[in-house]
Structure 1
Amino acid sequence: MTEISRDVTNLPETEAKLREFVEQGVISGGILAWGTANGPVRYHGEGVLGYARKDVVDERSIFRVYSQSKPVTGIGAMMLIEDGVIGLDQPIGEILPAFAEMRVIEGEDPEVTRPAARPITIRHLLTHTAGFGMDGMTLGALYAKHGVTPGTREWVPGPGDLPVPATLAELGERIAALPLATDPGTRFDYSVALDVLGLVIEVASGVPFETFLKTRLFDPLGMVDTGFSITADQAARFADLPQQEEDGTWALADDAADSLYARPYYPSGGGGLVSTAHDYSRFAAMLLNEGELDGVRVLKPETVRLARSNLLPEAVTHVDLPIGYTLSNVGMGAGMSVSLQASEQTNSFFDWPGAVPAGVFGWPGAAGTACWMDPKRKFFLLYLTQYWPSWLNGSMRPEIVAAAYRDLEKR
């Protein structure tokens, strides 16, 4: 299948799959959005914003997109690369001096280290190959002890642990003082790299990271409800984050009426954004249209093509997650993966493309969200819902995207 027609009015099997999830109580509600680079965006919502809510899900409903923030941060960095302010292979120590002389842990003892073989570069941050760790992944316990737990606003420090940093600068200071898990450019480690990249953007641009994204990306694209927090007038449109307990009942990991997202927190480029189907669709359509939307250009075509190409360092030949999963036939672009070969559906939460052709790029979020962008077909599919814990419905997104491609093949 090559580029599809300008308008795809409906995706019957995909819409039915979402309806099935809601009717079975797997999720309280969700929304699909799809479209082509220059065509209209279509939406299909089902259900409500929480199990105890009556607010119907629609394109203006606000969701926590967690790691779907990473492609946004990656594109922010690509803007500065296009501007000549930073370089793809520039050492970040030239921008953030605290990262100029990193050390690598040897064995299990974080006190036993050696000098890193090479400096961390912007490329390493974009592709999770800087050597950093992350709560729940490599070096997770060490990071948590120092309060470095991006994306977990509910985290409460234990005895002797540091609280969450108040600013990106403070986050950077803490991370720079910790050892790396491995030499930069030698291994994929899902990590805090995109949070550090937010700090790079902040320092290199001379404006706060959240301001940079708003003025350079969100405002030009009309992404009016995308940001790192919610306001009082947005609360009624903000989805609950339900958490399934061991007995199968639902509790609230985050109550929209009294949300952690309404309280101060540093702008986490790796997992802190909230957005809507309307807003994130505009971001996706811009990327499919190679940097332009509705006559507004935010990136050159060649920059977008670079962002969605495989930017992994030559030494990194595959994408492994430290918790025992390998993403098959996948490379990494600017904060997002790119499918290198046609992939089969695996029903694995982590092998996220599932039943998609080569060239598809994007990244999912921990609470059930994802966006797939197919440059060959000039087609994107966005799926927003909310649930916790993140592994609860591992087959949901692969089933959604597989249904979408079956719908497209029937056209």
Structure 2
Amino acid sequence: MLRRAKRWLMAGALAAMAANPAIAETTFDLPPSVQFSDKKLERIDEFFNKIIAEGKIPGAIVYIERHGKPVYHKYFGVRDVATKEPMTDDTIFRLASLTKPFTAFAVMTLVDDGKIKLDDPVSKYIPAFADTKVGVEKKREDGEKYLDFVAPKRPILVSDLLLHTSGITYGFYGDSLVRKTIAAAKIYDGDPSNAEFAERIAKLPLQEQPGTLWDYGNSYEVLGRVIEVASGKSFYEYQKERLFDPLGMKDTRYYLATDEQKARMAQPMPNDADFRVGRPSRPDIVKKWESGGGGLTSTPSDVIRFVRMLHNKGELDGKRYLSEAVFKDMTTDHIAPNSGVERDYFYFPGDGFGYGYGLGVRTDAGNAKPPPPGSLGELKWDGASGCYFVVDPKLDMFFVLMEQTPSHRQPIQRELKKLVYEALDN
């Protein structure tokens, strides 16, 4: 794995921003007084109509809300090129890793209730993690690499799972021996329950010592089981009772059990159907395992409700879902320069972003000149299927993109964000 030769090249970035007049000319950290231009918002229409005409995606839905009111809500293309059914607010999308903020939020409700402590060792809930080892690559005299297994210097904590600092990684990217070991273990085979899946993870080596590196992996699968043990309910049952039903998210679930639900499912282009997440993405086949890291399906209307609640700092329609203190903790960067957590080539929040619990948090402009658009304090996340949201507290705004395209998702997300911020005029 590639690591930076120096940690945190961003030190002093905020001061540099203040001294650099070029930043004021970009769409980074705009003043709250800016307003949307209807004419410039039309560029979003032009962009999506173009890429659909080019056959890159079947369709998409884009929603922008500011000051509590929708300013843009458009439907492009179709949900499935085979059926030619149009995009609608009840179209069902695979969320992939956009599932993770929902899992993190569920954990934080249990923290709020005093049923989970962030510094609890994971072995308190899943005893098998008391025996987990770290895999250290070494070389034999003939140059052959092998894994040596050493004890963690400290236990994996619940906060490590939330922050991706547990040492638990994925096996479908990178070429380390630990990742190859995970891939060879075929942990997705069969029909394991959440409890059984967590046991499979506990038997595998950690990529690094807990608390030392942001490393994307199966941590959120383990959190699903932690929630079950702490709440006494199944993972989905707890989320449904505590979050989905109260928020009115009637179409958010792990599996599609009815033909009517399956008929509403958005599909990627036939030549772009590999989500490249190391496992099948088939929510139409009901199984026991409820993937807290990537298994949810949902609709634009449901996701907008959740993101609106995040934008309102844990409250919506007069109901508070997280206390102010716990919500602030969830949306604060916990891997800053003095945290001891490294970042490497696979740091997916990206330049200029720290990480809270399940969310990227904008902490500085980053190193690009000019910096990407946005504001300090921005919250975001996305998934391999293409679904994406951004919350900008400074501008009192959020937007949601729903699409199904593993191949084109990142260029589309970047362009949409650029067009959204360029549509804001002084």
Amino acid at match of 2:250: V
The one of 281, 284, 302 equivalent to 1:262 is 284
Q: Give the distance between the partners of 2:94 and 2:113, measured in 1 at CA.
A: 30
The one of 118, 142, 157 equivalent to 1:88 is 118
Secondary structure of the structure 1 residue equivalent to 2:381:
strand
Secondary structure of the structure 1 residue equivalent to 2:354:
strand
Residue 188 of structure 1 deviates from its aligned partner by 1.1
Q: Could you tell me which residue of structure 2 aligns to residue 101 of structure 1?
A: 131
Is the Cα–Cα contact under 8 Å of residues 93 and 402 in structure 2 kept in the other structure?
yes
Is the Cα–Cα contact under 8 Å of residues 210 and 267 in structure 1 kept in the other structure?
yes
Is the Cα–Cα contact under 8 Å of residues 34 and 425 in structure 2 kept in the other structure?
no
Is the Cα–Cα contact under 8 Å of residues 122 and 156 in structure 2 kept in the other structure?
yes
Unmatched runs of 5 consecutive residues or more in structure 2 = 1-29, 139-144
Count of residues paired in the alignment: 380
Residue 75 of structure 1 deviates from its aligned partner by 0.6
The one of 176, 179, 182 equivalent to 1:140 is 179
Q: Could you tell me which residue of structure 1 aligns to residue 216 of structure 2?
A: 190
Amino acid at match of 1:55: E
Residue 364 (structure 2) pairs with residue 338 (structure 1)? no
Q: 1:268 to 1:252 in 2, by over 3 A?
A: closer
Q: Could you tell me which residue of structure 2 aligns to residue 226 of structure 1?
A: 252
Is the Cα–Cα contact under 8 Å of residues 37 and 285 in structure 1 kept in the other structure?
no
Q: Could you tell me which residue of structure 2 aligns to residue 160 of structure 1?
A: none
Q: TM-score, normalised by structure 1?
A: 0.85
Q: Could you tell me which residue of structure 2 aligns to residue 406 of structure 1?
A: 422
Is the Cα–Cα contact under 8 Å of residues 56 and 408 in structure 2 kept in the other structure?
no
Q: Could you tell me which residue of structure 2 aligns to residue 130 of structure 1?
A: 166
Q: Give the distance between the partners of 2:318 and 2:395, measured in 1 at CA.
A: 21
Is the Cα–Cα contact under 8 Å of residues 56 and 269 in structure 2 kept in the other structure?
no
335-344 or 297-306, which moves further after superposition? Answer: 335-344
The one of 305, 325, 328 equivalent to 1:302 is 325
Is the Cα–Cα contact under 8 Å of residues 228 and 273 in structure 1 kept in the other structure?
yes
CA offset digits 1:210-261 (Å, max 9, x no partner): 01111101001111111101132212211113343xxxxx67889xxxx821
Q: Could you tell me which residue of structure 1 aligns to residue 45 of structure 2?
A: 15
Is the Cα–Cα contact under 8 Å of residues 209 and 267 in structure 1 kept in the other structure?
yes
Residue 8 of structure 1 deviates from its aligned partner by 9.3
Residue 271 (structure 2) pairs with residue 239 (structure 1)? no
Q: 1:252 to 1:96 in 2, by over 3 A?
A: closer
Residue 9 of structure 1 deviates from its aligned partner by 7.9
Amino acid at match of 1:120: I
Q: Give the distance between the partners of 2:160 and 2:395, measured in 1 at CA.
A: 29
Secondary structure of the structure 2 residue equivalent to 1:262:
coil
Q: Give the distance between the partners of 1:74 and 1:219, measured in 2 at CA.
A: 17
Q: Could you tell me which residue of structure 2 aligns to residue 284 of structure 1?
A: 307
Q: Could you tell me which residue of structure 1 aligns to residue 6 of structure 2?
A: none
Q: Could you tell me which residue of structure 2 aligns to residue 210 of structure 1?
A: 236
Is the Cα–Cα contact under 8 Å of residues 96 and 385 in structure 2 kept in the other structure?
yes
Q: Could you tell me which residue of structure 2 aligns to residue 395 of structure 1?
A: 411
Q: Give the distance between the partners of 1:285 and 1:325, measured in 2 at CA.
A: 24
Q: 1:83 to 1:374 in 2, by over 3 A?
A: same
Q: Give the distance between the partners of 1:376 and 1:402, measured in 2 at CA.
A: 17
Q: Which protein, 1 or 2, shows the higher relative CO under an 8 Å CA cutoff with sep ≥ 6?
A: 2
Residue 401 (structure 2) pairs with residue 383 (structure 1)? yes
Q: 1:22 to 1:205 in 2, by over 3 A?
A: same
CA offset digits 1:31-83 (Å, max 9, x no partner): 00121463347521100012222110121111111000001101111111111
Residue 90 of structure 1 deviates from its aligned partner by 1.7
Residue 375 (structure 2) pairs with residue 357 (structure 1)? yes
CA offset digits 1:310-344 (Å, max 9, x no partner): 1227444553344x878212211111211111357
Q: Could you tell me which residue of structure 1 aligns to residue 153 of structure 2?
A: 117
The one of 149, 166, 171 equivalent to 2:197 is 171
Is the Cα–Cα contact under 8 Å of residues 226 and 279 in structure 1 kept in the other structure?
yes
Q: TM-score, normalised by structure 2?
A: 0.82
Amino acid at match of 2:418: A
CA offset digits 1:335-365 (Å, max 9, x no partner): 121111135779xxxxxx9422221112111
Amino acid at match of 1:238: M
Is the Cα–Cα contact under 8 Å of residues 104 and 114 in structure 1 kept in the other structure?
yes
Amino acid at match of 2:203: A
Q: 1:130 to 1:253 in 2, by over 3 A?
A: closer
Q: Give the distance between the partners of 1:22 and 1:212, measured in 2 at CA.
A: 38
130-139 or 309-318, which moves further after superposition? Answer: 309-318
Q: Give the distance between the partners of 2:363 and 2:46, measured in 1 at CA.
A: 29
Root-mean-square deviation (CA), in Å? Answer: 2.8
Residue 200 (structure 2) pairs with residue 200 (structure 1)? no
Residue 2 of structure 1 deviates from its aligned partner by 4.8
Q: Give the distance between the partners of 1:191 and 1:212, measured in 2 at CA.
A: 23
Q: Give the distance between the partners of 1:373 and 1:8, measured in 2 at CA.
A: 19
Q: Give the distance between the partners of 2:411 and 2:290, measured in 1 at CA.
A: 30
Q: Give the distance between the partners of 1:293 and 1:325, measured in 2 at CA.
A: 29
Secondary structure of the structure 2 residue equivalent to 1:25:
coil
Q: 1:333 to 1:110 in 2, by over 3 A?
A: farther
Is the Cα–Cα contact under 8 Å of residues 343 and 356 in structure 1 kept in the other structure?
no
Secondary structure of the structure 2 residue equivalent to 1:299:
coil
Secondary structure of the structure 2 residue equivalent to 1:268:
coil
Q: Could you tell me which residue of structure 2 aligns to residue 153 of structure 1?
A: none
